[in-house]
Amino acid sequence: MRLTRTLLALGLFGIAFGYVEAAVVVYLRTIYGPIRQATFPTMPHGDLLPRRATPFLNQIARALARIMVVVIPRP
């Protein structure tokens, strides 16, 4: 009886979490749509992750390295 309750609770939790996950995906795609259109105007609508040339990726990596600085506190 206890195992059945636990499995039922886990199953219901999994279904509920799946719905939350789907809502988050729809929300993020809604936000990302205009950004993608402004950044990559020539790309087809269904292509969510555009491929870019290596120099472009290197430029982004350098920009992110400047932004994401990890400060390690000294003892």
Q: Which of 55, 22, 50 is nearest to 38 (CA)?
A: 50
pLDDT number for residue 49: 63
**E-only strand ranges, the chain:** none
Distance of CA 42 to the CA centre of its chain: 22
What CA–CA distance (Å, rounded) separates 39 from 35? 6
The sign of the dihedral angle between the CA atoms of 50, 51, 55, 61 is positive
pLDDT number for residue 37: 74
pLDDT number for residue 35: 75
Which tokens belong to 60? 């982004």
Q: What is the pLDDT along the chain (75 residues), one digit of tens a residue?
A: 899 999 999 999 999 999 999 999 888 888 877 777 777 777 776 666 666 556 666 667 777 766 666 655 666
pLDDT number for residue 73: 62
**Domain edges within the chain:** 2-67
Q: What 8-state DSSP symbol labels residue 45? A: T
pTM reported for the whole predicted model: 0.50
